[in-house]
Amino acid sequence: CHLIHYLRLSHHLIVLNYLICTFDKLKSVSSEDIKITDAVFDGVEVRVFEPPAKRDERLKRSVVYIHGGGWALASARTSLYNNLCRIMAESLNAVVVSVEYRLVPEVCFPEQFHDAVRATKHFLQPDVLAEYSVDPSRIAISGDSAGGNLAAAVCQQLSKDEHLTIRPKLQALIYPVLQAFDFNTPSYQQNMNMPVLPRYVMINYWIDYFNGNYDLAHSLLINNHTALDVGQALSFRGRLNWTSLLPSSFKKNYKPVIQTTGKAEIIQEIPALLDVRAVPLLAENETLQLQPKTYILTCENDVLRDDGVMYAKRLENAGVEVTLDHFDDCFHGCMIFTIWPTDFSAGIQTRNSYIKWLDENL
């Protein structure tokens, strides 16, 4: 794929996603257990999973789910996410709305964010909830990886919308990516070469999301964009101080990487690096105080581990009830790998824990 991109035959992400979806995309196939339909919510495609109505049951709970894939890959219709959402709908007896937001390179930030907000706000309308027999007081927003980023950003946006009459009861974030401020947190240093999501791949996902230049990758890797002389970043530094936000068991013997002099032009070229709609971990405390009860799942073998742990701590400090569900022996992306030939015990373990929390709290 990178050779194809280098030769300018096509964007490598288009080719990669084409291969993924060609071999994996499923049609909308309903069964006796779950009705699956494709719909459009305010211009955004969604896939809706509906369990059958039970006797004497009036309203169901619901989960709005946003898939991962670096804002560039996968689909609500691939077998991995189709299977996850079907099992969620069955296990929770809940209506699951899986958002099919547009991807890089077709669109870049903030369009993925806008798609997720539009689809969610459309679903939260009283008449739409009534159409799907959903209880307005029992709705969760959830997502994994880049979808966890979008879920957190959507929750923050909804919490500040004074015109919204129905708000989510919960947010559940699965190994979310939440910041592009510091690519040298302990988990980024510890797992820099970890398969599935090495550090350089995550940095490239950010660059693609922001429609930036790959030539900036090395400067981002050594935190030149948030050096002490980069004035735009100064006000955010206290919101992402991992030396105070992480427990000692995660900090270990790692040292902060803070450049004295850097490149302010990086932030000028890519201002979204400090836009809270893209990096929810940098939100101000006043916004965090408005967030719903929260579940965050993290994995030890994941560069994004500390993103989730720091967000949990900041939410907790802001007075939000948080469950941090950490798995020492699991890796980034594991929760969707529950189907042969990638039916890993880590996937079953994390998925069961996630669904159990939703069942007990939604």
Q: Is the pLDDT of residue 346 over 60?
A: yes
**Structural domains present in the chain:** 27-180+273-361 (3.40.50.1820)
Task: Express each pLDDT in 84-108 by its tens digit.
Answer: 999 999 999 999 999 999 999 999 9
When the pLDDT of each residue in the chain is averaged and rounded to a whole number, the result is: 91
Task: Express each pLDDT in 180-236 by its tens digit.
Answer: 999 999 999 999 999 889 999 999 999 999 999 999 999 999 999 999 999 999 999
- Active-site residue, selected from the candidate residues 75, 142, 145, 187: 145
| Whole-number pLDDT of residue 28 | 47
Task: Express each pLDDT in 269-306 by its tens digit.
Answer: 999 999 999 999 999 999 999 999 999 999 999 999 99
Task: Examine the residue annotation and report whether 67 is marked as an active-site residue of this protein.
Answer: no
- Active-site residue, selected from the candidate residues 302, 306, 307, 325: 302
- Active-site residue, selected from the candidate residues 12, 67, 225, 332: 332
Q: Name the pTM for this structure.
A: 0.92
> Poorest-confidence range of 8-22, 57-71, 99-113, 145-159?
8-22
Task: Examine the residue annotation and report whether 38 is marked as an active-site residue of this protein.
Answer: no
Higher pLDDT, 153 or 78: 153
Task: Examine the residue annotation and report whether 127 is marked as an active-site residue of this protein.
Answer: no
- Residues 25 and 56: beta-carbon distance below 8 Å: no
